[in-house]
Amino acid sequence: MAPIDPHSFTDSAHPLTTHVSLTLYFDFPSSTISAATLLSLAAPYSGPLTIDTRSLSVSAVLDPLSLSRIPFSLSPSPPDSVLGQSLNFSLSNQSQVLILSETAPSSSALQWLSPPQTFNKSHPFVYTQCQSIHARSIFPCQDTPAARIKYSAKLNIPRQLSAVMSAKHVERRPPSPAEAVGVCEDAIWCADDRVVEEFVMEQPIPPYLFAFAVGELGFREVGPRTRVYSEAASELLDASAKEFSHTEEMIRVGERLFGPYDWERFDLLVLPPSFPYGGMENPRMVFLTPTVIKGDASGAQVVAHELAHSWTGNLITNKNNNHFWLNEGFTTYAERRIVEVVQGDDKAALNIGIGWRGLIEEMERFKDNLEFTKLKTNQAGVDPDTIYSQVPYEKGFQFLWRIERQVGRPAFDEFLKKYIATFKFQSIDTDMFLDFLKANISGIEDVIDLKMWTEGTGIPPDAMEPVSEIYSKIVSLANEFQLGRLPMEDEVADWQGQEWELYLDNLPKSVEASQVRALDASYRLSESRNHDVRVGFLKLAISARCREYYGKVEKTLKEVGRMLYLRPLYTALVQCGGKGDEEDKVFATRVFSEACDSYHPIAKGVVEAILAKFVV
């Protein structure tokens, strides 16, 4: 018995599931989902099977044909803090097994919002975030990207709500009499109040790409294969439709660069502000934070990134999280190629520069844990959420950019297309990529130290900053800040969010409080509608202990649950620094205790880990 993935109980000697058929009954009053999960294997199998679960109550494992019970056990007990529990049973010449289970209200993949926590305040809302290893907290599955599954799903939900999934919508219909059985046991919802929404995903996906959202949803058409969905409020829908009006153009650019778009639809779902990421590449239905809607079309960068995953990540997937850079490094490279076409070289250079700064900061964060400065990592025993970083994104980007510089763009483009066509719908590891690289670009290993790039720590000497006039100008202005010079009005006249973000990222780590105040007096960054800018400024204000901004810090921490913002703000508050740290820690702890009910469980866990490290 050998695990195939440090984050899954799945055994290499067991067959992998090829299809999952799900029936889900949503009970909003108890924040739980009852699931009937039919797992199918490619062929009849006799022997043990090990399935991942986390905080699920499993009531029965059944032979779906005879409905006879199959004995099962859950282990270890108590559950492993990273992996959860394995569900163990044996099959005898069977290719299907039916598992009945119920989620816990604390399911790590699910955020349940009560009506007051939603935009319209009249209906509840629930949505998933399964990457990296949270699908197992919704239904039992072999929760490893080494498994690729097709699925179908029937979602039984209150009639006032509707559902979207990372799958094709089949129909919305009343529950059949059989499906109504058991429903009326519930005092609050009875069959008349329910509908069933059916979906099917006909392409094999890794379990982390399973996704749904249920709530009072509306949509706008923004392109021939794109709708933007959000909570049904016209101001939200209109702003979203405007922000994402260029999506079709980006899909076409992606197709030109990377080959056909294989997922038919590219819909977008704008989630409530607690969504813990900027975006999540759920196939056919990308999930987005509302903070990308800034009114200046800069949300396009996040969409470009999630779109790029349609090729790099969703078509070709890392076999397990040790090779996560194959997903995110390739996607960051592909995202910047799309941005370069639709927004120009300067914007692409700014993004590379912001990424470069981010990479340098991560080296500092992991200076005592160099394993996570590598591309190919060993994540055994480690929770992927707590070590989530820019390293796979930016060091991965730098590696691919280095290869591009070596071979020239035309040859690299050809290589990329061939790579995607060769491995599509497969899950691969770093060595498979390197073998393919060496086979297709002969002699590459003689000019680039591939081992240093993939297995070495830190930033290789042949990584580089972008070359661009606007980039250099912003960096030198940031350096002059140290000498007491603020940028002049005409120098920043055409700056948008990314320019300011780059400027703020490049300021020295410790700055004088008076300078922070002067910067804000001139440019009102603490009031920016753009969260990247506002948070960048507030981070600076915290490190200079400018406490007059803490009201804005508190407001921001209570308004959004995107980890990109929570992580640096909480870290800046609790990390050792100048005088008055205790006061900041007390402040951070209080704000968290008041805000955490509105955070997604993943974000809550990540902030708890930050506070636990620094607050004793």
> To the nearest whole angstrom, how small is the minimum distance from the Cβ of residue 591 to ligand BES?
22
What does the DSSP 8-state code read for residue 126?
Answer: E
277 binds, among ligand BES, Zn ion, none (CB under 5 to 8 A by kind): ligand BES
Task: State how far the Cα of 347 lies from the Cα of 343, in Å rounded to an integer.
Answer: 6
Residue numbers of the site for ligand BES (CB under 6 A)? 131-132, 277-281, 301-302, 305-306, 309, 328, 388, 564
302 binds, among Zn ion, ligand BES, none (CB under 5 to 8 A by kind): ligand BES
> To the nearest whole angstrom, how small is the minimum distance from the Cβ of residue 342 to ligand BES?
14
- Report 269-328 residues binding Zn ion (CB under 5 A): 328
| Torsion 453-456-460-462 (CA) sign | negative
- Please enumerate in sequence order all residues whose Cβ is within 8 A of that of 469, keeping only pairs 6 or more positions apart, or say none: 346
- Separation of first and last alpha carbons in the chain: 41
Q: Which helix (H) or strand (E) holds 520?
A: helix 513-523
Catalytic hit among 197, 198, 306, 362: 306
Rg (CA), the chain: 24
Considering only CA atoms, which of 275, 347, 336, 308 is closest in space to residue 501?
347
Catalytic hit among 151, 333, 393, 503: 393
> Is 351 in contact with 461 (CB distance < 8 Å)?
no
Considering only CA atoms, which of 229, 423, 242, 216 is closest in space to residue 315?
423
Listing from the earlier edge strand, what are the strands of the sheet with 217-223?
217-223, 226-231, 267-270, 285-288, 279-280
For ligand BES, the nearest residue by Cβ is 278
Question: Does the annotation place 309 within a ligand binding site?
Answer: yes
Complex with Zn ion: residue 61 or 352, whichever CB lies closer: 352
Complex with ligand BES: residue 302 or 359, whichever CB lies closer: 302
Complex with ligand BES: residue 263 or 277, whichever CB lies closer: 277
- Report 326-355 residues binding Zn ion (CB under 5 A): 328, 331
Complex with Zn ion: residue 247 or 331, whichever CB lies closer: 331
197 binds, among ligand BES, Zn ion, none (CB under 5 to 8 A by kind): none
> To the nearest whole angstrom, how small is the minimum distance from the Cβ of residue 164 to Zn ion?
20
Complex with ligand BES: residue 585 or 600, whichever CB lies closer: 600
537 token code pair: 């400024």
Listing from the earlier edge strand, what are the strands of the sheet with 125-128?
110-113, 125-128, 212-215, 162-165
Angle at 583 between CA 581 and CA 586, to 5 degrees: 110
* Three-state DSSP class for residue 412: helix
Question: How many residues make up the chain in this entry?
Answer: 616
> To the nearest whole angstrom, how small is the minimum distance from the Cβ of residue 97 to ligand BES?
29
> To the nearest whole angstrom, how small is the minimum distance from the Cβ of residue 211 to ligand BES?
11
Catalytic site includes residue 393: yes
- Report 42-71 residues binding Zn ion (CB under 5 A): none
What does the DSSP 8-state code read for residue 318?
Answer: E
Question: Does the annotation place 328 within a ligand binding site?
Answer: yes
564 binds, among Zn ion, ligand BES, none (CB under 5 to 8 A by kind): ligand BES
Give the residue numbers marked as catalytic: 306, 393
> Where is the binding site, in residues?
305, 309, 328
Annotated binding site for Zn(2+): 305, 309, 328
Contact set with Zn ion (CB under 5 A): 328, 331
